[in-house]
Amino acid sequence: MPSSSRRKWALFATFAATAVSVVLAMNFTTPEKKIQQSLGHRHAVSDPQFRREMGVMLGPGLLEGNHVVALQNGDEIFPSMLEAIRGAQHTINFETYIYWSGDIGKSFADALTERARAGVKVNVILDWVGSIKMEDSLIQEMKDAHVQIEKYRPLKWYNLGRLNNRTHRKILVVDGRIGFTGGVGIADQWGGEAQDPEHWRDLHFRVEGPVVSQFQAAFNDNWIKSTGMVLNGAEYFPSLSSAGEMKAHMFTASPAGGSASMHLMYMMAIAASSETIDLQAAYFVPDELIIEALLAARRRGVEIRIILPGKHIDSESVRLASRASWGDLLKHGVEIHEYQPTMMHNKMLIVDHEMVSVGSTNFDGRSFRLNDEASMNIYDHTFASSMSEVFEKDLAATTRYTYEKWQQRSMKEKFLESLVRPIQSQL
């Protein structure tokens, strides 16, 4: 090969390698807005100032007059969601991360298809990665009925720099009046009653009242990103009267819009705690700021209990990265309990029996900085007390992990932890 040709190929190879490196770097870039210091304890969760700051700093203000029903596991969750879909008269907006083929996936596709054929406007956002296991026949069934389906950030040249940024939101809004959010994915493993390792433990929430309009706005956020179209009008945003006594707000986070808001929400809630923090987290990989916030709460005398997946966790790398961070927490009295019957996929924070935070957000760097997430905070003592009862029931099915046990980890486990810690924000 002539030397001129070799130089051209060398230049081309250099250009290609540089382009690939730039694209990869873009996928691992975190947002510019980043919290760099801990928050002090200024207000209690019950203090109006705390709630005012939650609304002003994180997005939508608190809305009164809501009613929230906690649904336990697939046997309660899926029938309630499907009933709402089948009763839709005007619009259905549905966004989810996991949608796989199977009996549950077929049931949802059939229900959405039937309503679309009846003239209901049905709009669906499926994460491209999370729906890879979904058969094309289900998508085609819905499209044939004029369901508007958008894959979020599919594998296209213009999305290469954002392939690592997924939508993890789980939002269903029916007629602008009934909303659902929580941790459940559309797959058979979420079915049943968490009765065995093949059926996961999870929580989802049915919501009525003015806060549902914020659910609709959250869906609109990614619909606009995906299509450039705005869904508005009374069929999407009807006038919503009071449905209960709960105060609540729904807020979103994404790398494009300042994902630090979800991180900040947890920091503010932990800093406001005065008595108790009960946390259920499917994936718990806290950063240094979160760890310091929890330790500061312990120094104030706050009782902290955390329920995490045990041996049935679906990601061993997350388990390793998580456990590597437990030392100081356990040493200073934070209780960590591992759920034994099956994979525990709950995402719930309860503070001082006054505030409950639920939604799609995991307690890790991916949710805080890379994913599009949506969470709802409810400020209601009665509801918080009922969710504390749920927490206690789950706690009875756990094994407590002690500081002594953490110290006795094998050399192999410590070595594997050291391998995953540098990439823990990507897990």
Q: Which of 324, 301, 293, 306 is nearest to 422 (CA)?
A: 324
Contact 246, 209 (CB under 8 A): yes
- Concerning whether 168 is annotated as a catalytic residue, the answer is yes
Contact 31, 260 (CB under 8 A): yes
- Indicate which residue of 170, 199, 204, 247 is catalytic: 170
Start-to-end Cα distance in the chain: 45
- Concerning whether 249 is annotated as a catalytic residue, the answer is no
- Cβ count within 10 A of residue 103: 10
- Indicate which residue of 199, 204, 337, 347 is catalytic: 347
Q: Which residue has the tokens 């897990």?
A: 427
- Concerning whether 175 is annotated as a catalytic residue, the answer is yes
Q: Output the furthest CA–CA distance in the chain (Å, rounded).
A: 81
Burial of residue 7 (CB within 10 Å: 0-12, 13-18, 19+) is: exposed
- Indicate which residue of 345, 372, 380, 394 is catalytic: 345
Q: At what angle do helices 48-58 and 260-272 cross, to 10 degrees?
A: 170
Burial of residue 6 (CB within 10 Å: 0-12, 13-18, 19+) is: exposed
Q: How far apart are CA 323 and CA 285, in angstroms?
A: 8
Residue 388's Cβ-side half-sphere holds a number of Cα atoms within 13 Å equal to: 17
Which residues fall within 8 angstroms of residue 410, CB to CB, at 6 or more apart? none
Q: How far apart are CA 36 and CA 158, in angstroms?
A: 32
Q: What is the dihedral of CA 90, 166, 33, 21, to 10 degrees?
A: -150
- Concerning whether 353 is annotated as a catalytic residue, the answer is no
- Indicate which residue of 352, 372, 380, 394 is catalytic: 352
Which residues fall within 8 angstroms of residue 136, CB to CB, at 6 or more apart? none
Q: Enter the tokens of residue 352.
A: 């001082």
φ, ψ at 210 (rounded to 5°): -55, -25
Contact 315, 423 (CB under 8 A): no
Contact 94, 171 (CB under 8 A): yes
- Concerning whether 43 is annotated as a catalytic residue, the answer is no
Q: How far apart are CA 405 and CA 3, in angstroms?
A: 64
- Concerning whether 204 is annotated as a catalytic residue, the answer is no
Render 50-66 in DSSP notation, one character per residue.
HHHHHHHHHSSPPEEEE
Which residues fall within 8 angstroms of residue 241, CB to CB, at 6 or more apart? 65
Residues labelled catalytic: 168, 170, 175, 345, 347, 352
